[in-house]
Amino acid sequence: MTDKNFTVDVPGKFSAIEEGILGYLYEHPEENIGTGGLVGKLKPEQSTAEQQGQAFEEIQYDIESLIAARLVRGKRVSASGKVQYVQLRLTPKGEAEAIKERRRVKKFIFPDAFRPKWAKPSQSQGE
| Cα–Cα distance, 34 to 67 (Å, whole number) | 13
Rounded CA separation 13/19 (Å): 9
In a domain, 68, yes or no: yes
- Determine, yes or no, domain membership for 18: yes
Which CATH number fits the domain that encloses residue 84? 1.10.10.10
Domain count across the chain: 1
0.85 surpassed by pTM: no
Within a domain: residue 51?
yes
Considering the domain boundaries, does residue 91 fall inside one?
Answer: yes
What integer pLDDT is reported at residue 5 of this predicted model? 79
Q: Which tens digits make up the pLDDT trace of 58-89?
A: 999 999 999 999 999 999 999 878 899 999 99
Q: How confident is the model at residue 109 (pLDDT cuts 50, 70, 90)?
A: confident
| Within a domain: 7 | no
Q: With a cut of 90, say whether residue 94 has pLDDT above it.
A: yes
Burial code of 81-94, b = ≥16 C-beta within 10 A, e = fewer? eeebbeebbbeeeb
Pairing of strands 107-111, 5-9: antiparallel
Q: Please check whether residue 113 lies inside any domain of the structure.
A: no
In this structure, the number of other CB atoms found within 10 A of the CB of residue 19 comes to 20
CA angle in degrees (0–180, nearest 5) for 34-36-39: 110
Domain assignment present for 125: no
Question: Are the CB atoms for 102 and 22 separated by under 8 Å?
Answer: no
More confident residue, 71 or 120: 71
Residue 63 in any domain: the answer is yes
Q: List pLDDT tens digits, range 47-63.
A: 888 998 899 999 999 99
State which residues form the domain around 66. 12-104
